[in-house]
Amino acid sequence: MPRYALCWLEYRPCDDRVYREAVINRIRTLWVQPGEDIVGSEIRDALSRLFHHTPQEGSTGGGGALYVGTSDQSPVAERISAAELGKLGDEGFILKEVGERDGSSSLVLTARTRRGLVYGVFSLVSMLQRGISLDGISLHEEPAFPLRIIDHWDNLDGTIERGYAGKSIFFHRNKVVKGLHRIRDYARLLASVGINGVVLNNVNVRNKALRLITEEYLPSVRRIADVFRDYGIRVYLSVNFMSPVYVGGLPSADPFDPSVKKWWAEVVARIYEYVPDFGGFLVKADSEFNPGPHSYGRSQADGANLLAEALAPHGGLLIWRAFVYNIQDWRDRKTDRARAAYDIFSPLDGRFADNVLLQIKNGPMDFQVREPVSPLFGGMERTNQMVEFQITQEYTGQQIDLCYLVPMWKEVLEFDTHARGEGSTVRRVVDGSLFGRPHGGCAGVANVGSDYNWTGHWLAQANLYGYGRLTWNPDLSSEEIAREWCLRTLTRDGEAVDRLVDMLLASWPVYEKYTTPLGLGWMVNPGHHYGPSPEGYEYSFWGTYHRADNHAIGVDRSSRGTGFATQYRSPWRELYDDPATCPEELVLFFHRLPYTYTLKDGRTLIQYYYDSHFEGVEEVKRLREEWLKLRKHISPRVFREVLERFDRQVKNAVEWRDVLNTYFYRKTGIPDEKGRTLY
C-alpha cells in the first residue's frame, strides 16, 4: 500500500483507444538530451502508465519522434528557428510539431534551461492525461510571475501552524525526515504546476527552528534542497530577526550595528556553501510577538536591508512580510488594524534594497472569507512586491468544509489599483511590469501535510493545484483550472467532471453565506478559528472588532471614521467611502450600519443575514447531494472520505446559521420575516 496519493500525477491508464494510438504514433521514438534523466524518466513513466507505451530510444531522423532538450541541442536547433528559440525566457518552453525532411512530422519540446524543460514535460503530461490532441501543436509558454512560492508554516517538531492535513512532511521531532521519497513526489507535484520556490519553515521562528541557519541543520537543509533542485525549485528559510542574539550570542540585533551585519554575512555565506542556489530568507518581524527593527527604533526598511545586504553577493532574495500591526486595547476606538500595513510601509517606498520583496497579504486584515484588496498594492511604486495568499484554509473551513479559493485569488489579481490609471491590476504590480520592478511574484501558505491525501479534504487538493496554475498563468479561468484538476485527479467522465466543477465553483460563495457575508469577518472561535463565536474576538487585543450593539454593527472605515478607505486611489476611495456605492459584499467591512439599513435588493441588512444563513445551510446540503450522485465515478475511498467531510460541513453550517441568527435576533429583537426558527 502506498503511504500517500499522487494526486494529479496518479496516471490512470487511458481508455480511449483512438487517442492512445494517436499518441503512440506521434511518439514512436524518444530522444532526450543526455544527462536529463529526470525529464526523461517523467516522460517515459507517463507514457508507460497512461498508454502502456515504451517508445524506442534515440534519434532516427525520421518522423514520429519526440525530441526533448534545451535549445542549444542539435536535434532541437535543426528543427526550430533561431528566432523562435530566441524568444524563450528563463523558465519558458516550446512544444511544437515540426516537419521532417521526408514529409513526416515530429514533436519538439525545448527550453533555454533545465527548469523550462521540467515545466514543459509536465505540461505535455497534463495534455496526455486529459486527452488533448497533439496534432499541429505549437505552444510557447512563459510563467506570468517571476516568483511562484509555497510558504510552509511547518515547525521542526513536526507540527504545522494552521495545518489541517497531518504533520509536516519535512520535519519530525526536530530533525529533517529520513526518507526523502515523499519530498521528491512533493517536488514533482509542485513543479508540475509551475512552482519555483519553497519556504521550508514557519514564519514564527522559534525553538530549534532558530538553528536551521547553523551547521547543526544545514547538512539536512542541503538534502532537501538537492531534491527540490532536481525539479527547478529553490529552497528558502524563514528566519528570526533576533537571530544574532538568540543564535549568535551577540548583545544586539540592531541593523546599524557592524557586528550584527558581519554576523549575518557569515551566516549567509555558510548557507551558500551548503546550498549554492539558496533562494533567500522570509521574515516576519515586529508582528505578533516576533521582534523586529522597531525594537531598536529602526524602520522596516532598515531591518530588511540588513539581511538583503548579506544575501546580495550570493544572488539571494529577502522577502519581508508586511503583516505588521500592533496589538490593541478593544476600548481604543481610533486605531484600525486594517490601516496598519499601509501606514507603516507606504512612507518607506523607495528605501528598500533591490533584492528585497515586500510580501503583502491579499487583504488588509488576515485571510478572511472576504476582504477588500490591500491598498498597499497601489501605494508603493518603488518597492518589489509579492502577494501572499493562504492556501491552507484557516478561516475558510479548515479543509473540513469545501472552499475552492481560486476565484477569490483571481479577484485579487484582477483588482485594478488605478495606481497608473486604468488597468493597473494587482497582477501587474506583483509581476513587476506596472512599475518596472526587477522582482515580484506570489506566495501561498501551504495546505499540505502527511495525510494520505496531502490536504485533509481530497477536494482541497484543487486549491494547491489551482494556486500553482494561477501563478503560472492567471489568464486561466477558475473553471478551466477546476476542470483540469478534476480530469487529472478524480474522473474522466464528462458529466461527472461538469458536476464537480460546479460544486467547486459554488463552494466559496456558499461558505461565505453561512459564515460572515457582507465583509464582516472574524466571528470565529478564537485560537483555532473553526466554527462560530460572534464575540470571540470582540474584547481581545487583536484589533478585529465589529462592535455590534442593539442598533448597528461594523467599523466605520470611511473618511468619517478611521479613514481606511482613503488609503485607496480614486475611484475606489470614493466608492468605498459611501455605503451606497461600496460593493455590497464589502459594505460591512467599510461601514457601520443599522440592522435596518436597506440593501440594493430592498432587503434590510438583518433580513439579508438571516436569509443568507438559512440559504447557506441548504446549499451545503445540496453540495452533499451532488456528491452522492458521483458515487460510481469516484474511487470508493475518495468517495467515502469526502462524504464524511460533507457530513461535518453540514453540521458546521447549521451551527453557524443558528449561532449567528440567534445572536442577531437577541441583539435586535427583529424577527425573521419568513418566520423561520430563531432561538
> Could you give the residue numbers annotated as active site?
288, 366, 394
Closest CA to 506 of 403, 634, 395: 403
In the bound complex, what is the minimum distance in angstroms from residue 521's beta carbon to ligand GCU? 13
Closest CA to 529 of 508, 519, 544, 518: 544
Footprint on this chain of ligand GCU (rule: CB under 6 A): 161-162, 203-204, 284, 288, 323, 366, 394
In the complex with ligand GCU, the residue whose CB is nearer, 162 or 167, is 162
| Contact by Cβ (8 Å): 301, 250 | no
The 3-class secondary structure across 43-61, one letter per residue, is HHHHHHHHHCCCCEECCCC
In the complex with ligand GCU, the residue whose CB is nearer, 341 or 434, is 341
- Hey, what's the cell of 132? 488533448
In the bound complex, what is the minimum distance in angstroms from residue 377's beta carbon to ligand GCU? 17
Residue 235 CA to residue 302 CA, distance in Å, equals 25
In the bound complex, what is the minimum distance in angstroms from residue 81's beta carbon to ligand GCU? 48
In the bound complex, what is the minimum distance in angstroms from residue 186's beta carbon to ligand GCU? 22
In the bound complex, what is the minimum distance in angstroms from residue 361's beta carbon to ligand GCU? 7
Closest CA to 89 of 134, 144, 42: 144
Residue 665 CA to residue 136 CA, distance in Å, equals 63
In the complex with ligand GCU, the residue whose CB is nearer, 491 or 516, is 516
| Contact by Cβ (8 Å): 260, 313 | no
In the bound complex, what is the minimum distance in angstroms from residue 162's beta carbon to ligand GCU? 5
In the bound complex, what is the minimum distance in angstroms from residue 303's beta carbon to ligand GCU? 16
In the complex with ligand GCU, the residue whose CB is nearer, 254 or 394, is 394
CA 243 to each of CA 207, 240, 273, 296, 322: distance values in angstroms, whole numbers, following the listed order:
11, 5, 19, 14, 20
CA dihedral 576, 582, 588, 590 (to 10 degrees): 10
* Measured distance between the N- and C-terminal CA atoms of the chain, rounded to whole angstroms: 49
Residue 276 CA to residue 375 CA, distance in Å, equals 37
Which ranges constitute the DSSP H helices of 113-236?
114-130, 181-192, 218-230
In the complex with ligand GCU, the residue whose CB is nearer, 204 or 473, is 204
Closest CA to 627 of 618, 615, 640: 640
Please report how the helices 406-414 and 494-514 are oriented relative to each other, as an axis angle in degrees rounded to 10.
Answer: 70
Residue 276 CA to residue 68 CA, distance in Å, equals 27
Closest CA to 336 of 378, 364, 362, 363: 364
Residue 665 CA to residue 668 CA, distance in Å, equals 5
CB atoms within 10 A of CB 127: 15
Chain center to CA of 653: 25
In the bound complex, what is the minimum distance in angstroms from residue 512's beta carbon to ligand GCU? 19
**Length, in residues, of the chain:** 679
In the complex with ligand GCU, the residue whose CB is nearer, 187 or 319, is 319
* Residue carrying the nine cell digits 495606481: 419
- Hey, what's the cell of 312? 546580495
In the complex with ligand GCU, the residue whose CB is nearer, 108 or 373, is 373
In the bound complex, what is the minimum distance in angstroms from residue 199's beta carbon to ligand GCU? 12
Q: Which letter does DSSP use for residue 566 in this model?
A: G
In the complex with ligand GCU, the residue whose CB is nearer, 321 or 645, is 321
Ramachandran area for residue 296 (φ above 0: left; ψ -120 to 50: alpha; else beta): alpha
In the complex with ligand GCU, the residue whose CB is nearer, 162 or 188, is 162
Residue 90 CA to residue 6 CA, distance in Å, equals 28
Q: What are phi and psi of 443, to 5 degrees?
A: -125, 140
